[in-house]
Structure 1
Amino acid sequence: MNQIYYDITRFSDMDIYLFKEGTHVKLYEKMGSHIMERQGKKGVYFAVWAPNAVSVSVVADFNHYDPSEHPLKLRDDSSGIWEGFVEGAFIGQTYKYHIVSSINGRTFKKADPYAKYAEKPPHSASRICSIDDYRWSDDIWMDLRKTHNAHDKPITIYEVHLGSWRRKVEEGNRFLSYVELATELADYLVKMNYTHVEIMPITEYPFEGSWGYQVTGYFAPTARYGTPQEFMQFVDIMHSYNIGVIMDWVPSHFVTDGHGLLNFDGICLYEHEDPRLGYHPEWGSAIFNYGRNEVRAFLISSAMYWLEKFHIDGIRVDAVASMLYLNYARKDGEWLPNRYGGNENLEAVEFLKQLNETVYGVYQDIVMIAEESTAYKKVTRPVYTGGLGFGFKWNMGWMHDTLKYFMLDPIHRQHNHQHITFSMWYAFDENFLLPLSHDEVVHMKGSLINKMSGDENQKFANLRALFSYMTAHPGKKLLFMGGEFGQWREWNYEDSLDWHLLEKPMHQGLQRLVSDLNGLYKTERALYLYDEKHAGFEWIEANDTQRNVLSFIRKSNIEDETILVVCNFANRVYENYRVGVPIFGRWKEIFNSQYKVYEGWNITNPEPVETEEIECNGRKHSINVRLPALGVCFFKLI
C-alpha cells in the first residue's frame, strides 16, 4: 500500500506570499506532482490550490481511484493549498484530484492544473511526469538567439498545425510524432528559407476540432504527438537547424469540460462568476479572472514554464482583443463596464503588462507577439511609456485590406486603390507582423489561391504578386502552411496538406517563389533592417490608380542596398513604364514574380536599366521598365 505523509512541503512562507500577491512566476516548481524522496524512499509530492474545498484527495492508478485512500492536507488557513507525499507513486501513473466543495458538499474529479503531462485524449487524467532528465544540445542557438529574434533582423514565420501538416496516410492517417515532425519539418523550413516556425497550440486540449485553442493543460504538451521529452527534442532539432520556435498560447479563455479549470473547487475559482464577465459567447468558453492574484500567477507561470523548460523562442498570445474589451462579442446589456464606465478590461490590461514585463525581464532575447485586431494604442510600446509591452503585433488591418484588394477583378481595383495603400499610413505605429494565417483559410473563407480573382493562371499570378508585395511591405512575415504551394481546398485539421499538388508545375513554381522571396528577405538588408521605422520606406508613386501600379523603395542605412519595388496589379503589360528613382546609376532586376521558373509569363527586364535625366514622380532621374501583368519586380543598383 502507498502510504501518504504530510511532513514534506515545497512551499516556503515567501512562496505563499508571492502566490497570494500574484507575483510568483515559477509555480510549476511548487504546484502539481513532483518526484521526491522521503527518508530514502521515492514517491510523489502533490500540491493543488483549492481554497473552497473541505477535502481533497489524490485518486490514481496506485489506489484504484479511491478517494478515501490518499487525502491531502491543507497547508495553512490562508493559502488554499492542499499537499501530501505518496510513497511509492511513480512516473507514468495517472491521477486526478477528488475535491469535496464547501458549496453543498458537491464533489469533483479534476485534472491537475499544473500537470506536466496528461493522458492522450479523449482520456483526461493527469500523468506523473518528470522532465528534468532531458539533456539539451542547443547551447549555440541559445547563446545567439538574440540575433535571430532581433527587431532589425529578418523574421519570416511558417505557421503550422502539427496534426495536419503531414500524416502517415498509409498507417491509418495517424499523426506524426514530435520527433518525426521535427526532422521532416526542419528540412522543409530550411528549404523554404523560413527563420521561425509558429506552432498552433500544443498545450493539452480535449477537442480536436478546437485546434488547441480550448485548453485544459497549461503546462502539458499534448500527448497526441508524444511525451514532453519528445517535444523538447522537437525544439532541440529545430534549433540545430537554426529555426526559432514560437508557441501559440491562449490566456484569453479556457474550455468548460468538467475535468478542467471550470468551477474547480465548486465555485468560479479561475473564472468570473458573473457570465457577463466570465463567459465568452463567441467561443462558448470561460474567461479568466485577471483580477485574482493567484490566477495571474498561474498564467504567467505557464508562459515562464515554456520559455524556461522547453527553450521556446517566442509566444504568440491569442485573442488579445477579446481580453482588452469587456464588450468584445457582446451586445448592449450583456457586459459590465469598468469602474470608470468604460469598456476596457482594466484587469486584463494590467495582466498583459505584468506578463510582458516579467518574461522580458528574464528573457530579453525572446519575442512576445500579440494577435490584436483593433486599434488599441501602444500594444508594442514599453510598459513604462504606457504600452502593453509586446514585441510585435499582428497587422490585421493590412491582411483584411490586402485580401479584399486581391479578390477584386483588376478592372475594379482602380476604384479600390486605397485598400492596397492605406496600410502605409499606420505601418510604423506599432512593431507589426504581417499575417496570412490559418484564420483566413477556414470556415468557408476559401483558401488563399481560391481568394484570388481570375482564371487558374491569373489566380496563381495574383498569389505570386501578393506574396511578393507582402515581402516588400514593411513588417515581419507569417504564412500558414499550404499557402506556399497553393492548396486549393480549405485547411482541414483532420487531414494532411495536399502535398500531391506539387506534382504540378504551377504549384511547384509558387513554392519556389516563396522560397526565393524568403531568401531575398533574409539577405537584402533593405527589406528588413527598418521594418518598423519610417527610415526604411519611401513612396515613389502611390496614386497611379488608373494603371493599378504602385512603386516604392525599401532602404537600409547604406544607400547602395536600396531596393526599388514596382507592383503592377493590372491584368495588362506595360512595355514602357517610367519610374522615378532616388539614385542615379544602373538598376538591375533582381526578382520578378512572373519569371518562367515560377511558371510566370516571363515578361522581364533581363538587362540592367540605365537611369535617365528625365523627371518623373517628382524626382530628377528615372528609369524605363517593362512591367508584367499581375507582376511585382524588385530592382537594385549595381
Structure 2
Amino acid sequence: MTITDFDIGLFRAGKHYHLYEKLGAHITEKEGISGTTFAVWAPNARYVSLIGNFNAWNRKSHPMQVRWDESGIWELFVPGIGKGEYYKYYIESQSGHIAEKGDPYAFHWETPPHTASVVWDTAFRWTDGKYIRKRNSAAALNGPLSIYEVHAGSWRRVPEEGNRFMTYREMAEELPAYCAYMGFTHVEFMPLAEHPFYGSWGYQITGYFAPSSRFGTPQDFMYLVNQLHKAGIGVILDWVPSHFPADNYGPALFDGTHLYEYEDPRKGFHPDWKSLIFNYGRSEVRAFLISNALYWLDKYHVDGLRVDAVASMLYLDYSRKEGEWIPNEFGGRENLEAISFLREFNDAVHTHHPHALTIAEESTAWPGVTHPTSEGGLGFDLKWMMGWMHDTLTYFQKEPVHRSFHQGQLTFSIQYAFSEKFILPLSHDEVVYGKGSLIRKMPGDEWQQFASLRLLFAYMFGHPGGKMIFMGGEFAQGREWGHDYSLDWHENHHPLHQGIQLLLKDLNELYRGQPALYAQSFAPGGFEWIDFRDSQNSVISWIRKSGRNEEDLLFVAHFTPVVRRNYRIGVPYKGFYTEIFNSDAGKYGGSNLFHEAMLETAPIFMHGRSHSLSLTLPPLGVIVLKHQHDMDPGY
C-alpha cells in the first residue's frame, strides 16, 4: 500500500477516490516480514504515535514518521501485528492539544461503547456474480422499484437470549427470503457505518469505513449483501456526509485543529443534531467522503446510496436564525462548496459504478436535484418525494366526512410529480416520536383503519414514482417503531394484519407484472387524469401508461366508507374491461365488493370521453381495471 507522489497529488487536489487503499491500517509484508502499515492524515500535529494492546497503549513506544512531502500524512510499519489488533493514534498538536483518536479509515471497530479501531481486511469470496452481471441503474429506473427500509437493530431480535441483536449472518438467513416472498426489489438499510450512540439510528457516524460491529464483522455484512443479491434483492445504504458527532475519539478536532469540520461554528456546527459539519471546501475532506462512498460500492457490492439530510448541506441558514450563519461570497444562503461536492460525488459514483443509484433525501424545492450535473443539476438518480408523503398522510388522517374539503391536498402532487425522479417514502421518520404507526394514523373503527391503510398502499402503488415502506408497515404494526425492540411479528397471526401483508405482496406482484406502473414512472406520458374534481364523493380516477395502449391501467380510488353504485367514469377505449385488483377483496380483510364479470362500456359521454363504464366502488377502496384489447380488434 505504498503511497506514491501521484497519490499525494490526487489527495491534495481532492481527486483521490480510493484513499482507503492508502490511508488507515493495511496488513502487508515488508522485506519478507509480515505486519501492518499504518498511515494517518494529521497535518497540524507535532507528534503522532501508534498505541494499542501490542504496546500496552504506550504513547512513546511506536512514534510515527511524517512524510517529507508536506502532505501531513504520518506513517509506520509494525512487524508482527495482524488482523484483530486494537489500535488508536496518539496525537499532539502544535498548540499542545493531545488526543487518542480512532482511525478515520479503519475497516473495523470495537463494539460500542468501546472505541478502538481494529486491524482488519476486506477479503471475501463473493458468489453473487449472476446478480452483479445483470444490474444497472437504467434497469432500476425503468423497472419496478419497491424498497423495504430496514433498521438492522430492530427488524428482529433474539428474545431467547436477552433480546440481543440478530447478527448479519442471522439476518442473511431470514431477510433475503422474506423480501423475495414479499416482492420487494431492494432493501434500504438505515446507516450501518460504526456509530457510538445506538439511539442515533446510525446517523451519528465515527467509523465511516466500517459496518457496525454490533452485528458482526465486515465479512459478516458482506455475506448478508451476498445472500440478498442471490435472492435477487438490491442493497441500498443510508450514507451520511452531512455531519458527524463530536466524540473525542472521532474525527472532531482530529489533529488539534478543525481538520474535517468547518472552523467557524456558524458553518461547522449543526444546531439540530449538536454535531459537526464537514468542510466541503477542503480537498482532502472531499476525497475522504467520496472515497468512502465508493468504498461501499467497491468492497461491499452495494447497489445504491441514499444520501441523508441533503437540504441541511445545501443551505447555509438551515435551522439557523438571523446572525447565526454566514452568507456565501455572493451574499446568498446556498452552500456553494456543498453543492460542488454533491455534484462531484454523483459524477464519481456514476463514473466508477454506472449501475449504482444515488438517492437524495431533500425536503425543499431545490431545482434539478435529479437533473444531470452537465445541465446544472445535482446529479442524483432519485429524490424522496417528501411533499407527497406529508400531504398524503395529512389527508389520510382526516375523518372521511371531512376529506371532501381537502381533496386538493391529495391530488396536488401530480402537478410536480415529473419535475424530478421521485421515490414515494413512507419512512421511519413517520412512525416515531409520538407520530404513531401507519395503522394508528388512520381514523375510525378497526375496520375503517385497516381499510384506509389498504387504500393508502394501493393509492401509493398507483401513483407515479418508486415506492418505499419502512419495516412493520407491511403488516400494520400497531405500536410505533422503537429501536430497542423487535418488530411485533406476533401481530401477523391476526387476519387483518395478515391481510395488509398479503395486499402489499400482491401490490408488489402487480407492480412487477404491469409495465404501465413502471415503464414511464418518471415521465408525464405515464400518467393521465380521468377525474380529480369529484371531491363531493371523495373519488379520484386516473390512467397509468407504459406507452403501449394495450398495457394501460385504470385506477379508481374512493376515500369514504360507503358503497357507491352506478358510479360512471369516462374511459379511453370502448369495449370490455376486467378488474385485476381490488383493495377491498375479502382475502385482505375487506368487504369483498368486487366486479366478478367483465365490464362493458356504454356510448355515454363522460369526463371528455365518448365511452364510459358504470362501476360499483367499494368503501375505502381502490380498484384497478384493464381493457381487454384482444376482444376489441377495432378499438
Name the TM tier (shorter chain): over 0.9
Cα distance between partner residues in 1 of 2:153 and 2:607 = 50
Q: Are residue 545 (structure 1) and residue 535 (structure 2) matched? A: yes
- Report matched runs for 1:305-344 at 5 Å: 305-344=295-334
Q: In the alignment, what sits opposite 1:401?
A: 391
Corresponding residue for residue 633 of structure 2: none
1:246 to 236, 239, 247: 236
Do residues 121 (structure 1) and 118 (structure 2) align?
no
Shift in Å at residue 585 of structure 1?
Answer: 1.8
- Secondary structure of 2:141's aligned partner: coil
The answer to whether the 8 A contact 2:427-2:468 is kept is yes
Q: Which residue of 2 aligns with 1:3?
A: none
SS at match of 1:251: coil
Tell me how far 1:380 sits from its aligned partner: 0.2
Distance (Å, rounded) in 1 between the aligned partners of 2:430 and 2:532: 27
The list of structure 1 runs, each at least 4 consecutive aligned residues, that deviate by more than 4 angstroms after superposition, is none
- What is aligned with 2:631? none
CA distance in 2, matches of 1:18, 1:624: 68
Corresponding residue to 2:16 among 24, 27, 36: 24
TM-score (norm 2): 0.98
1:55-108 Cα distance to aligned partner (Å, 9 max, x none): 1101011101101111110012520000010011111010000000111x1210
Question: What is the rounded CA distance, in whole Å, between the counterparts of 1:167 and 1:575 in structure 2?
Answer: 48
Map residues 73-472 of structure 1 onto 2, 5 A cutoff.
Answer: 73-103=65-95, 105-132=96-123, 134-146=124-136, 149-472=139-462
2:632 alignment counterpart? none
Secondary structure of the residue aligned to 1:355 is helix
1:52 maps to 2:44: yes
In the alignment, what sits opposite 1:69? 61
Mapped to 2, the partners of 1:183 and 1:611 lie a distance apart of 50
C-alpha displacement of 1:150: 2.7
Task: Name the SS for the 2:285 alignment partner.
Answer: helix
1:595 to 2:581 alignment: no
1:147 and 1:264, CA in 2 relative to 1: closer, same or farther beyond 3 A? closer
**1:55 is paired with a residue of what secondary structure?**
strand
Aligned partners of 2:556 and 2:238: how far apart in 1?
35
Q: Note the C-alpha offset of 1:199.
A: 0.3
Structure 1 residue identity aligned to 2:590? G
SS in 2 for 1:429: coil
Structure 2 counterpart of 1:260, one-letter code: G
Contact 1:131–1:229 under 8 Å retained in 2: yes
* SS at 1:151 equivalent: helix
**Aligned-pair distance for 1:247?**
0.3
Matched-pair contact (CA < 8 Å) for 2:137–2:357: no
Give the Å deviation of 1:557.
Answer: 1.9
Q: Once the two structures are superposed, what CA deviation does each residue of 1:547-591 show, in whole Å capped at 9, x if it has no partner?
A: 000000000121111100000001211011101000112111111
SS in 2 for 1:511: helix
Counterparts of 2:293 and 2:214, CA distance in 1: 21
* Residue 501 (structure 2) aligned to one of 481, 502, 511: 511
Report the CA distance between 1:109 and its aligned residue: 0.2
Count of residues paired in the alignment: 628
Please report how far the alpha carbon of residue 147 of structure 1 lies from its aligned counterpart in structure 2 after TM superposition: 7.0
TM-align CA RMSD: 0.8
Q: Which amino acid aligns with 2:256?
A: G
**1: CA distance, partners of 2:352 / 2:209:** 19
Cα distance in structure 2, aligned partners of 1:57 and 1:606:
77
CA distance in 2 between partners of 1:182 and 1:464 (Å): 29
Give secondary structure in 2 for the equivalent of 1:150. Answer: helix
Task: Give per-residue Cα distances to partners, 1:327-371, cap 9 Å, x unaligned.
Answer: 111111111111111110000000000000001011111100000
Q: How has the CA–CA distance of structure 1 residues 425 and 530 changed in structure 2, closer, same or farther, with 3 Å as cutoff?
A: same
Query: Against the structure 1 CA distance between its residues 147 and 523, is the aligned structure 2 distance closer, same or farther, given a 3 Å change threshold?
Result: farther
Cα deviation 1:586-616 (Å, max 9, x = unaligned): 1111111100000001111111110111111
Query: Match of 1:564, SS?
Result: strand
Whether the 8 Å contact between 1:147 and 1:153 is mirrored in structure 2 is no
Contact 2:197–2:204 (CA under 8 A) maintained in structure 1? yes
User: Which structure 2 segments of 5+ residues have no match?
Assistant: 629-635
TM-score w.r.t. length of structure 1: 0.98
Deviation at 1:183, TM superposition (A): 2.0
Give the match's secondary structure for 2:491. Answer: helix
* Residue pair 1:98, 1:110 contacting (<8 A) in 2 also: yes
Show the counterpart of 1:37. Answer: 29
- Counterpart amino acid of 1:341? G
